[in-house]
Chain A
Amino acid sequence: MNTKMRGGERVGGRSFQSPCLLVFVFLSLLSGCATVAPERRAILADPTMQFNGEAKHDAPLRHAIDNREGSMGGTGVSGGGCGCN
């Protein structure tokens, strides 16, 4: 994000913020259209429908994969230590 001050005005900030704002508004409106009533959420609460339902069990596998590839991301931010042998 370029928010460098020049002559008291922010330069470049607006061009970054506008698309982000549009995307946020779009997603908010889009998600607001699709609501599932609480009484119809039983299946969504099923363990098989959870994206990280067995996160603690799968953590060692994720750790091994991360250390064998040159990429990262998508599985949370907490960390500590290298474990990179």
Chain B
Amino acid sequence: MQLRWGAVAVAVSIVALAGRARAQVAEFDTAHAVFYEAPTRTHMFVYSPSADVQASPWTWLDVRGGWEADVVSGASVKTKAGAAYAATHSPDVVTTASVHDFRNLGRGEFTAKGDTTSLTAGYAYGTENDYRSHSLHVSGRTDVFQHNSQFELSYARNFDSICDRVQSASAAGPTRWAALENSTECFASAAGRTTHAIAIDTYEASWTQSWTPIFATQLTYSAQLVDGFQSDPYRSVILGEGVQAQEHEPSERAREALTARVAWYLRALKGALRMAIRGYHDTWAIDSGSLEVEGEKSLGEALRMALRGRLYRQKGALFWSDDYTGGAPPLGPKGQYWTGDRELSPLFSWLVGLRVVWTVAPAQGRLFGFMQSLKLAASGHVSSYSYDEYTLGGVPVSNAFAYVGTLSLNAAF
């Protein structure tokens, strides 16, 4: 409720600021997305609405405020075991737990603009039943060589915290720690609950370059340092006969990625071809690469249609194992850490999708008497995930499909 009133206050402030300006432009954005995935047993469904307002009370200043949410329902794996354990135990060694969560996030941001430079700073506050996040971000951008080169530096700092249970004093170490049962009484100073801090520093530098009237490139380097509790507190992993422990991952992780993009306009098609290739590495030994191709074509003055395809491949984390109880490699224990996180396992995925954008911007006058322009967009994407090693109790999970559909509206006043 507090967050909702905060968002209303930000929106009212922005509208008030806009009202004082003489030649301001105000914008309103809203997007609504649904995500559904159907690998064995989870059936995760997420509805994500968002709304943002932006005003430019002076030519040198943009002010933005917004809200977004995730309404989550489905199931997640509560206890993870693999093929070696399943061979000698009941086949139903993987249990799932229903998940219902409601993530809320409020954000505010301003950008001070000059002829060739801009500075942006913002803050976001997010809440979930079991997670709190305070995030600050700043960025600076400059255009040089007649706006043909743009350089941007960004930094964000998250001060997050996650709920966990208080472990029994008799628990000798991580192998005896129990998983969190549910989020009841999280962040309520209850005797059986505690929180762990997570600090996240994210850095990004990008260089965008126009080379010819129809060809541009962008190079982006991203780095992130994560320090704190990074496991899923609800998940247990079977480590041996009678040994089932809360997931235990390293508390530090350094991540970096390099992304190269090109955009090439094809006059014959009245459209552009965009490609992106990204390489990624982190200190948990996950290496990955992705290739993304988009073709977007204008269909008349108002309509654009984009087709998108993406391929992604990653290696597993150094401490990833589908079964820590034993078995032939790659199964077996992997040192002092254990996880049941399928996102840390070696996997391959592909994605295809279509996006349609319809824009109305009258050259003279205003739309409905008050709007400068109106933009409606719709998209649908389907992706498939194939896991090399990840199983549910020894049963392979392949071709797990996920679907994302999004509708959005942008109005400028």
Contact = CB atoms under 8 A, between A and B. Distances in A.
Interface of A: 27, 31-32, 34-38, 40-44, 46-51, 54, 56-61, 63-65, 67-74, 76-85
Contact of B314 (A60, A70, A77, A83): A70
Contacts of B139: 77
B151 to A, nearest CB: 9
A81 B46 CA distance: 15
A82 B128 contact: yes
Interface stretch (B8-16, B28-36, B86-94, B173-181): B28-36
A58 B204 CA distance: 19
A5 to B, nearest CB: 23
Contacts of B284: 70
B33 A73 contact: no
Contacts, number: 225
B261 to A, nearest CB: 5
B158 A71 contact: no
A32, A79, A84 pick with most chain B CB within 10 angstroms: A79
B122 interface: yes
Contacts of A34: 148, 209-212
Interface in B253-298: 255-259, 261, 263, 265, 271-272, 274, 276, 278, 280, 282, 284, 286, 288, 290, 296-298
B74 interface: yes
A36 B210 contact: yes
A70 B144 CA distance: 36
A6 to B, nearest CB: 25
A-B interface, 5 closest residue pairs, ranked by CB to CB distance from nearest: A73-B257, A81-B126, A80-B124, A73-B222, A60-B33
B70 A83 contact: yes
Contacts of B133: 79-82
A34 B317 CA distance: 42
A82 B160 contact: yes
Contacts of A60: 31, 33, 35, 48, 50, 404, 406
B127 interface: yes
B214 A43 contact: yes
Given A31-B149, A60-B31, A40 B213 contact: yes
B154 A69 contact: no
Contacts of A47: 296, 298, 304, 357, 359
B152 to A, nearest CB: 10
Interface string B184-228: 000000000000000010111001111111101010101110000
From A51, A60, A82, name the one whose CB has the most chain B CB atoms within 10 angstroms: A60
A57 B278 contact: no
Contacts of B272: 46, 48-49
B321 to A, nearest CB: 15
A51 B213 CA distance: 15
B381 interface: yes
A37 B213 CA distance: 8
Contacts of A80: 105, 107, 124-126, 133-135, 158
Q: Of residues B99, B290, B359, which shows the largest number of chain A Cβ atoms within 10 Å of its Cβ?
A: B290
B261 A71 contact: no
A48 B304 contact: yes
A41 B17 CA distance: 33
Interface string B89-129: 00000000001010101010100000000000010111110
A80 B3 CA distance: 14
Nearest to B346: A70
Contact of A46 (B265, B280, B357): B265
A36 to B, nearest CB: 5
B368 interface: no
Given A81-B105, A81-B128, A35 B148 contact: yes
B256 A73 contact: yes
Given A67-B343, A83-B103, 8 more contacts: A46-B272, A60-B33, A70-B317, A78-B156, A81-B127, A82-B131, A82-B160, A82-B162
12 contacts: A35-B145, A43-B265, A49-B216, A63-B48, A64-B46, A72-B255, A73-B204, A74-B257, A76-B204, A80-B126, A82-B103, A83-B103
